[in-house]
Chains A and B, each alone.
Chain A
């Protein structure tokens, strides 16, 4: 659906996007993840034809964006970071304008709009001025705008930013629904946002793609060692000696815990060994009651930080 070939964009001396390549299949829901200013929006603006690339090219459905922009743009619904709304119009006036602007055939206009209004749940604000709408509703009207004309490709730049938790969940569900019929590309700088909806993640940092995989694979790839977090009742020293006796423990740190007479330990196994059972037995043999045991897989959040921050910057 989208093919980006050595895509670059410079703003003066700033290299916003640096020679990136990616391919997005039809029907995928894909997430661009990266810190603020990583080049996500710039990439999206190049895919949608708002900005022309400094070098490289974008193909949408096999059509070159620079060569035949009008054909390519017909296939894209775009919700920019700030929804492009005319504040002086009512929701209905705005959407009517969009249907005309996007050249939806007259016979389909009202049926299409009804379906979209129902999908994004803006039926109850149809005749209100957009400037009087809340942020959540504005975002939905922006999304409605992107859906007009039923384009096969949806590009959504930070679709949930500024929404309350309930609205976020609604929008996520909506995006998942849309993913059944559309190819969806969305961006976020917040991880759960992406892992909740996307089947593939492109992590972008400083204008380059640092990783591209499914959320599960990313998680597995980076958490080679299985780690456990323990709270054990007993003196620090005896806890340490018993834990050291367990085979397969690669690294170990024991310190005084949050409560009196409780030791806190973090142990890491070599390879993908499961330490839970051997830890239980060794603690039981030493008569040291385990108060809490928690596996510490690297979360996607950790991966994100690992991939996109320099080592000294990580806490």
Chain B
């Protein structure tokens, strides 16, 4: 894992990728810093950091688009997958390298509040909290990018898909209030959600009895839930979308509160996408 991590980090800075990532991030954040804080003589640093969130949309695809697509393109995946390492250590090594580039860039921006502190008082707990949220959110976005670069075929495809996926996580929060809230809509939504694992199970095993049995068990469970606790289904679409909304949980960080459940949420979100990446790597061996 460390071997791959070192190699990946080296490649980021031997090729333009790492530099472009840092340059774009620091240039835009620098411009916004000057405009929002320096010129207007404001010390609302954590508000400024929140306004930087949209930058993730532009730079995360840059950082992650090549991670697995290039391995496939140059057939170097054959080297990684036939080496004496587990799939997990390959995925984590690559993820950590991308995360490290992101982290180094974030560290550079710490200069900004330090500069500000010479000219006024800053709310440091809030700044630290926002940074913590920033790093966790970044990890989640990078994990999405890692997964997409494994699942997509080309570099461009990976970049575009990552961009779209990140946009969805942004707008999901705005869409939430407009979703139907009735319990019937919740039931339909649950049925659709259950179709996904059933379909996946069928694709993976091509085993009709097992698939049918699982579908039956899920249907019975759903029916029981429907009969006993109907109100569970009220507003369910909004709730599930809320689970997917990465930006919603960021707000507690930006007011300086480190909420344990939010930290856990980001970490498990990251872990889940890395898990999906491992699954996809494994699946391709069996195709």
A binding-site residues for B, Cβ under 8 Å: 11, 45, 48-52, 54, 70-71, 73-74, 76, 78, 80, 82, 84-89, 93, 97-98, 100-103, 145
Contact = CB atoms under 8 A, between A and B. Distances in A.
B14 A50 contact: no
B3 A100 contact: yes
Interface stretch (B71-79, B109-117, B128-136): B71-79
B81 A97 contact: no
Nearest to B78: A80
Nearest to A45: B78
B74 A11 contact: no
Contact of B86 (A50, A70, A101): A70
Contact of B285 (A51, A87, A88, A93): A51
A85 B79 CA distance: 9
Interface in B66-109: 74-86
B259 interface: no
Interface of B: 2-4, 6-7, 10-11, 14-15, 74-86, 285-287
A230 to B, nearest CB: 52
B84 A11 contact: no
Contact of A86 (B2, B11, B78): B11
Contacts of B4: 101
Contacts, number: 70
A52 B285 contact: yes
A49 to B, nearest CB: 6
B78 A78 contact: yes
Contacts of A48: 78, 82
Contacts of A54: 286
Contacts of B79: 78, 80, 84, 98, 145
A263 to B, nearest CB: 56
Nearest to A97: B7
A101 B85 contact: yes
A97 B3 contact: yes
Contact of B75 (A73, A76, A84, A103): A84
Nearest to B287: A11
B82 A78 contact: yes
Which of A74, A86, A88 has the most C-beta atoms of chain B within 10 angstroms of its own C-beta?
A86
A84 B76 contact: yes
A247 B156 CA distance: 75
A88 B15 contact: yes
Given A73-B82, A86-B74, 13 more contacts: A51-B285, A78-B78, A82-B74, A84-B79, A86-B7, A89-B10, A97-B3, A97-B6, A100-B2, A101-B3, A101-B83, A101-B85, A103-B84
